[in-house]
Amino acid sequence: MAIFPLFKYMAGSSVGRQLYNRMHMDGNELDMISFKSAVKVGGVKNAYSPYKSKARSLDVLQEGLNRKSDKSIDYSTGKIKTNTEQDALGVTVQSLGALRKQLNTKEHESNSRAIGTQMFKIAFSNIIDNAMYGTKQKGREHRLGSDVKSDVMRCINALTTIGANKVRNLYFDDDNRVRNKAVQRLVQLIAKNNGLGHSAEEILENGGVVASLMSRKVFENSVSKAVNSEVVKINTKGGTAIQQSMFGLNGVTLDKSDIQDDGWKYPALNGGKELKYETNEGAMQVFLSANFFKSVVPEQYQDSTEHMREWLLDNNIIGDRAKPFGVGYRIPTQGMSSMFVFQVADIIPEQSGDLIVVPREFTAQTGSDFDIDKLFLATMSYSNGEL
């Protein structure tokens, strides 16, 4: 399952505020609310159904959210209390004692991602050789599809050469001899990231060979993957965003004075309006983390999310009047249904991480189920607000 924090900025809309207030109910707080999404084996039976009877707001679905839970914890004694209120919200009190440790994983680079080869094939196959593409903007002329294909393939060949040279420089010297220390560091990192244990790490640290270990296949696959990521895959500027539900970010926008008086820092995103599945430009509206705009917004406006948002709105990079900001796709990329062109309706404060919020229809389009679904994003090139 995917777990998303309920940040306070979500409470600028009526739905978000109802969720926030219920979870912070004095003396009966909730740490987590479970929602029904894709139904899988072992799912929570009492998960909340926000879309029952096609409802779009908690105003219609009050079952449980404004009532006390049937169980809560007495923080003074640490004991579980049971409430007798009728139709109370079903709550499970869980112990943290059984949480397991996760394997160490290498952190992601924020400025580059490997674009899916299947996504490239789909887009490339839809370019017609004798059709004209492009816009007459800043001296750019329309170009034949065959010329566009040639340019793209030249770029891919250049990226492949760069990747091959990078691998060669990392693991071979000028005389094409293997750099033993570099290879040793690589196999030690593989052993650590795959949880092979202290004994395997110690063998490799002391100069032992991979062939002496039982998990040899792990190293073969990992080395192949490391080379492919540099040479075979198409590495471009871009980023990966975690897909989040629209729920909680919609509803009636609260009065600005009420928001300020109550300590709310942010107004409702996009005025609390639903994201459009298709705009007049043929794009799909999304909410996107402010992290993705660090290379777009001038540095003097990056002191706060509010200033970044104002600058982006003033330059029509986000909002209803904005042009499409980029393209995206979901892995596995099995067809055109996994790809989309997006317009950014509003931005999410950067403390939320690399998030993207999509329209409700997109979940059905791509078969998403919110178990940490990731969307790759490749954006337009901007300079001082100009495309």
Q: Which residue has the higher pLDDT, 194 or 169?
A: 169
Mean pLDDT of 250-264: 54
Residue ending a domain, among 215, 236, 257, is: 236
237-251, 289-303, 370-384: lowest mean pLDDT where?
Answer: 370-384
Q: Which residue has the higher pLDDT, 338 or 303?
A: 303
100 in a structural domain = no
Parallel, antiparallel or unpaired: strands 113-115 and 234-236: antiparallel
65 in a structural domain = no
88 in a structural domain = no
127 in a structural domain = yes
Same domain, 146 and 218: yes
Same domain, 220 and 324: no
Residue 57 has pLDDT above 90, yes or no: no
Residue ending a domain, among 236, 257, 282, is: 236
Instruction: Identify the band that residue 36 occupies on the pLDDT scale cut at 50, 70 and 90.
Output: low
Strands (E), the chain: 71-74, 79-82, 113-115, 132-133, 143-144, 234-236, 239-244, 284-289, 326-330, 339-348, 355-357, 374-379
**Cα–Cα dist 336/327, whole Å:** 12
- Residue 75 has a pLDDT of 66
Q: Which residue has the higher pLDDT, 217 or 384?
A: 217
What tokens does 180 get? 């033993």
Q: How many domains does the chain have?
A: 2
Residue 338 has pLDDT above 60, yes or no: yes
Range of the structural domain that residue 316 is part of: 239-379
Q: For 275, left (φ over 0), alpha (ψ -120 to 50), or beta?
A: beta
The residues near 349 (Cβ < 8 Å, ≥ 6 apart) are 7, 9, 266, 289, 290, 305
10 in a structural domain = no
- Residue 253 has a pLDDT of 59
Residue 103 has pLDDT above 70, yes or no: no
Residue ending a domain, among 236, 259, 279, is: 236
pLDDT digits (tens, 9 = 90+) for 308-336: 999 999 999 999 889 888 888 876 666 66
- Residue 300 has a pLDDT of 92
pLDDT above 70 covers a percentage of the chain that reads 70
Same domain, 222 and 150: yes
DSSP states along 7-68: -GGGGGBHHHHHHHHHHT-TTS--S---B--S--TT--TT-B-TTGGG--STTT--TTTTSP
Same domain, 228 and 268: no
Longest CA–CA span in the chain (Å) reads 79
**Is the preceding peptide bond at 324 cis, omega within 30 degrees of 0?**
no
